[in-house]
Amino acid sequence: MIRNDRAAAALGLRVVSDEPGKAVVSMRVRDDMLNGFAITHGGFVFALADTAFAMACNEDERVTVAAGADITFFKSTVEGQTLTATAVRRAVSGRNGLYDVTVSDETGDVVAEFRGRSLTTNRLFDAKEDAGG
């Protein structure tokens, strides 16, 4: 999935680890990710957390998508900082899942907490499509 994620590529996201129910993704904050106050735009923090969430909940050949998500911001960050999102499965029941994602900065301070709700579809991931053909 991540190999086909053009948004993640454009943001320069780096996969640190990926295992069933857990994923860690990092991002270096660039100048073009800052808002009018010269701090990281919340949408980029959300996109980082959402990517880690997507990786954690796509554990098998079935496509799992977001059913909803929310985020709470605790600390602002600036250009040059590295943010890391750690996503962990909390519960799965049938086709529904609940995942928590902590976004921290390079000092370990919590920048944001994200909670995602997933829905596993009946659609199967196409490995040929993933391989680019």
Per-residue pLDDT, averaged over 9-37, amounts to 97
| Residue 2 pLDDT exceeds 90 | no
Look up the pTM and report it. 0.92
Give the tens place of pLDDT for each residue, 45-97: 999 999 999 999 998 889 999 999 999 999 999 999 999 999 999 999 999 99
Separation between Cα atoms, residue 89 and residue 66, nearest integer Å = 13
What integer best gives the mean pLDDT of the chain? 93
pLDDT of residue 127: 57
Cross-strand bridge partners of residue 54: none
Phi/psi of residue 72, nearest 5 degrees: -120, 125
pLDDT of residue 3: 84
The reply to whether CATH 3.80.30.20 applies to domain 2-123 is no
| Residue 9 pLDDT exceeds 80 | yes
Please give the helix or strand (H or E) that residue 11 lies within, else none. helix 6-11
Domains of the chain, residue spans: 2-123
Q: 59-90 b/e with 16+ CB inside 10 Å = b?
A: beeeebeeeebebebeeebeeeeebbbbbebe
In three-state secondary structure terms, 98 is: strand
Phi/psi of residue 29, nearest 5 degrees: -75, 125
